[in-house]
C-alpha cells in the first residue's frame, strides 16, 4: 500500500497558513507521498513519541506563588537522543512545541547527526521576571522533566528568550540530582563550563556556507552579489559579516525597528558599531530607511530571512525578486508561498538545511563533553564546513533525482533516513 491511501492529499481547505504544526505537516505529507512511505512508518512519524505537560510552581519575589505551564516534547528518538531548544515565551503552546520538535527531527536527520528531535517551552514573559524568579522557574522546570533529560535521552539547548545562563542552571540542577557534574545534558553552555568554541557563530556560518554552495551551483559570482538580510541578531549579523568577507555586497539589513538600505553596500562593521551604541538600526546614517516588508521585495540576488516565521506568504511571495532565498530563521516561508517561489524559479535553501549549523555545533559540543577533550575553533569550523557542504550536496542530488525543489528534497532525505532506522529497528511489541 502506498502513502496515497493514508496521507491527506493537497492543501486542506481549512489550512491555517501560519499554524506551525499544519505548516510542518503539509511539507511532511508532500515528502511522504513522493517517497511512497510505508503507511505504518508514516503513522509513527506523524505522531510525537512523548509529550510532557508540567505545572511549575514558583515563589515570586513578592512572596506570592505563581504556577507556570511547561512542555517538553520528544518527537522522535529513533536515531539518537532527542535534541532541541527550550523557549520562554507567552506564545508557547503544545501545538507549537510539537511542531518545532518534529522540525528538529528532520533538521538533525538532514545533516545526518545522530540525534532525534525535541523542543520545550514554558509559558511566561521572561522580561517581567526578576533574575531570581527566572532561575527558580528554570530549576523547577528542569526538575519536573528530569526523567526525560539526559545525555543519552534528551539534550536541550537555548531557543527564544533562553541563553547560556539558563543552560548553566539546567546543567547544574540536573547534575545536583545525579550527584556528579554532567556537562553533556545541555548544549549552548558558556565556554567556561563546557560550551564549544564557534557555537555562537555556527548558525550564521552555516548560512554563509550554503549560500556559497548555491551561488556555485547557479553559476553566480561571489563578488558584487547583492544580499538583503532580515534580522540582524545572532544569525543575521554573523551571516552578514561572513558573506561580506567573501566579497558579497550586503545592501540591506533589518531589525524589529525596520530596515536600512544602501544599494552601494552597507559596511557590516559600521552597522555593528551603530547597534552597540544605539541598540537598534533605527536612525543609522547613509542609508535609506525601509520597512521589513519592503526589504523582502528588494531587487537583490540573495535574500536571507533571519528573524521571524511566516514572513514570506501567499500575499507577498510573487513579489520576491531574489534568485536565492536562504532561510536563516525557522519557518520564514509558509507552505502556500513555496509553490509561488518555485514557479518563479527561486532557489530556496530550506530552514532545516540552511540553519542547521547551530545544531551541528551543538552536536560537536555534546561530543566534546563526552570525550572530555576540547577542540580548537579551527577544527570546529572545518568540521562544520564539511557537514554543511556534504548535506547541501546530498539534498541537491536528491532534488535532481526526484525532480523536486530543495525543501521537498530536504524533507524526503531526512524522512527517508528516520524511516530507514525504524525499519531496521522494528517495533518493540
Ligand atoms: P536574535 O534574537 O539574536 O535576533 C533576531 C533579530 O530579528 C533581531 O535583529 C530582531 O530585532 C529581529 N526582529 C525581531 N522581531 C522582528 C520583526 N517583527 N521584524 C523584523 N525583525 C525582527 O535571534 P537569532 O538567534 O538570530 O534567531 C533568528 C531566527 O533564526 C529565529 O527564527 C531562530 O529560531 C532561528 N534560528 C536561530 C538559531 C541560533 O543558533 N541562534 C539556530 C537555528 C534557527
Which mean pLDDT values do the consecutive 10-residue runs of the chain (429 residues) have?
A: 34 55 86 95 96 98 98 98 97 93 97 98 97 98 98 96 97 98 98 97 98 98 97 96 98 97 98 97 96 98 95 97 97 94 98 98 98 98 98 98 97 98 95
From the CA of 159, give the closest atom in ligand 1. 34
Per-residue pLDDT at 357: 98
330 lines ligand 1 (CB under 6 A): yes
Give the Cα separation of 325 and 337 in Å (integer).
Answer: 12
From the CA of 258, give the closest atom in ligand 1. 20
Cell of 167: 543552560
User: Do residues 253 and 240 touch, judged by C-beta distance below 8 A?
Assistant: yes
**String of DSSP letters for 262-321:** -TT---HHHHHHHHHHHSSSTT-SSSEEE-HHHHHTSS-SEEEE-S-SS-B-TTTGGG--
**String of DSSP letters for 176-239:** HHHTS--GGG-SS--GGGTPPTTHHHHHHHHHHHHHHHHHHHTT--STT-EEEEE--SHHHHHH
Q: Which helix (H) or strand (E) holds 260?
A: strand 258-261
Per-residue pLDDT at 17: 66
Per-residue pLDDT at 14: 41
* Block residue for cell numbers 501545538: 95
Which of 101, 107, 203 to mutate to test ligand 1, by most ligand atoms within 8 A of the CB atom? 203
| Cross-strand pairs, 71 | 53, 121
Residue 400 CA, ligand 1 centroid: distance in Å:
31
* Block residue for cell numbers 536563516: 328
Within a 10 A sphere around the Cβ of 130, how many other Cβ atoms? Answer: 11
Give the Cα separation of 413 and 419 in Å (integer).
Answer: 10
231 lines ligand 1 (CB under 6 A): yes
Nearest CA residue ID for atom 24, ligand 1: 234
Give the Cα separation of 192 and 187 in Å (integer).
Answer: 13
Angle between helices 94-110 and 406-425 (to 10 degrees): 90
33 lines ligand 1 (CB under 6 A): no
355 lines ligand 1 (CB under 6 A): yes
Nearest CA residue ID for atom 3, ligand 1: 233
255 lines ligand 1 (CB under 6 A): yes
Residue 306 CA, ligand 1 centroid: distance in Å:
6
Residue 46 CA, ligand 1 centroid: distance in Å:
28
Query: Which among 48, 52, 54 is positioned nearest to 21, based on CA atoms?
Result: 48
Angle at 405 between CA 404 and CA 406, to 5 degrees: 120
Nearest CA residue ID for atom 13, ligand 1: 256
362 lines ligand 1 (CB under 6 A): no
Which of 242, 282, 307 to mutate to test ligand 1, by most ligand atoms within 8 A of the CB atom? 307
Which of 110, 232, 233 to mutate to test ligand 1, by most ligand atoms within 8 A of the CB atom? 233
312 lines ligand 1 (CB under 6 A): no
Scored b (16 or more CB within 10 A) or e, 156-176 reads bbbbebbebebbbbbbbbbee
Residue 279 CA, ligand 1 centroid: distance in Å:
15
307 lines ligand 1 (CB under 6 A): yes
Query: Which among 153, 99, 91 is positioned nearest to 122, based on CA atoms?
Result: 91
Instruction: Kindly report the length of the chain.
Output: 429
Query: Which among 367, 422, 412, 360 is positioned nearest to 388, based on CA atoms?
Result: 360
Residue 141 CA, ligand 1 centroid: distance in Å:
24
Catalytic-residue membership of 119: yes
**The dihedral formed by the CA atoms of 102, 108, 110 and 111, expressed in degrees to the nearest 10:** 160
Q: Which member of 50, 83, 107, 119 is catalytic?
A: 119
- pTM of the predicted structure, to 2 decimals: 0.94
From the CA of 355, give the closest atom in ligand 1. 43
Give the Cα separation of 356 and 322 in Å (integer).
Answer: 22
256 lines ligand 1 (CB under 6 A): yes
Give the Cα separation of 396 and 375 in Å (integer).
Answer: 30
116 lines ligand 1 (CB under 6 A): no
Cell of 202: 555556527
Angle at 140 between CA 138 and CA 144, to 5 degrees: 115
Give the Cα separation of 200 and 220 in Å (integer).
Answer: 29
Give the Cα separation of 77 and 83 in Å (integer).
Answer: 9
Per-residue pLDDT at 16: 63
Give the Cα separation of 42 and 36 in Å (integer).
Answer: 9
Q: Which helix (H) or strand (E) holds 252?
A: strand 249-255
Per-residue pLDDT at 4: 31
Residue 226 CA, ligand 1 centroid: distance in Å:
21
Residue 180 CA, ligand 1 centroid: distance in Å:
35
User: Do residues 335 and 312 touch, judged by C-beta distance below 8 A?
Assistant: no
Burial class from Cβ neighbours inside 10 Å (0-12, 13-18, 19+) for residue 272 reads: middle
Give the Cα separation of 38 and 43 in Å (integer).
Answer: 9
Residue 329 CA, ligand 1 centroid: distance in Å:
6
Amino acid at each position: 500500500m502506498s502513502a496515497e491511501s493514508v496521507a491527506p492529499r493537497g492543501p486542506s481547505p481549512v489550512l491555517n497558513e501560519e499554524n506551525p504544526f499544519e505548516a510542518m505537516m503539509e511539507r511532511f505529507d508532500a515528502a511522504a507521498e513522493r517517497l511512497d512511505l510505508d503507511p505504518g512508518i508514516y503513522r509513527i512519524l506523524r505522531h510525537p513519541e512523548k509529550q510532557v505537560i508540567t505545572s511549575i510552581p514558583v515563589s515570586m519575589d513578592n512572596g506570592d506563588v505563581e504556577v507556570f505551564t511547561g512542555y517538553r516534547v520528544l518527537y522522535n528518538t529513533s536515531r539518537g537522543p532527542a535534541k532541541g531548544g527550550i523557549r520562554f515565551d507567552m506564545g508557547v503552546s503544545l501545538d507549537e512545541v510539537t511542531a518545532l520538535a518534529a522540525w528538529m527531527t528532520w533538521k538533525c536527520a538532514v545533516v545526518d547527526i545522530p540525534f532525534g528531535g525535541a523542543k520545550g517551552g514554558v509559558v511566561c514573559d521572561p522580561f517581567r521576571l526578576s533574575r531570581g524568579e527566572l532561575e527558580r522557574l528554570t530549576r523547577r522546570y528542569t526538575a519536573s522533566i528530569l526523567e526525560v533529560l539526559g545525555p543519552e535521552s534528551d539534550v536541550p539547548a537555548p531557543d527564544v528568550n533562553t541563553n547560556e545562563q539558563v543552560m548553566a542552571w539546567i546543567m547544574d540542577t540536573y547534575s545536583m540530582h545525579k550527584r556528579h557534574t554532567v556537562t553533556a545534558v545541555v548544549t549552548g553552555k558558556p565556554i567556561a563550563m563546557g560550551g564549544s568554541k564557534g557555537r555562537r557563530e555556527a548558525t550564521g556560518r552555516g548560512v554563509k556556507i550554503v549560500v556559497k554552495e548555491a551561488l556555485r551551483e547557479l553559476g553566480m559570482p561571489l563578488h558584487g552579489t547583492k544580499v538583503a538580510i532580515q534580522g540582524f541578531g545572532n544569525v543575521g549579523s554573523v551571516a552578514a559579516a561572513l558573506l561580506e568577507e567573501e566579497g558579497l555586497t550586503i545592501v540591506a539589513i533589518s531589525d524589529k525597528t525596520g530596515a536600512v538600505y544602501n544599494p552601494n553596500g552597507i559596511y557590516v562593521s559600521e552597522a555593528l558599531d551603530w547597534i552597540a551604541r544605539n541598540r537598534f538600526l533605527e536612525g543609522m546614517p547613509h542609508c535609506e530607511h525601509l520597512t521589513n516588508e519592503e526589504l523582502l521585495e528588494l531587487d537583490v540576488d540573495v535574500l536571507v530571512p533571519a528573524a521571524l516565521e511566516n514572513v514570506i506568504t501567499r500575499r507577498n511571495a510573487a513579489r520576491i525578486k531574489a534568485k536565492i532565498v536562504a532561510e536563516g530563521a525557522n519557518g520564514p516561508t509558509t507552505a502556500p508561498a513555496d509553490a509561488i517561489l518555485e514557479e518563479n524559479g527561486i532557489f530556496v535553501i530550506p530552514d532545516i538545511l540552511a540553519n542547521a549549523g547551530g545544531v551541528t555545533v551543538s552536536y560537536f559540543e555534546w561530543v566534546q563533553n563526552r570525550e572530555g577533550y576540547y577542540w580548537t575553533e579551527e577544527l570546529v569550523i572545518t568540521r562544520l564546513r564539511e557537514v554543511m557542504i556534504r548535506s547541501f550536496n546530498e539534498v541537491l542530488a536528491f532534488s535532481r533525482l526526484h525532480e523536486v525543489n530543495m525543501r521537498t528534497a530536504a524533507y524526503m532525505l531526512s524522512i527517508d533516513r528516520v524511516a530507514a532506522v525504524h525499519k531496521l529497528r522494528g517495533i518493540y511489541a
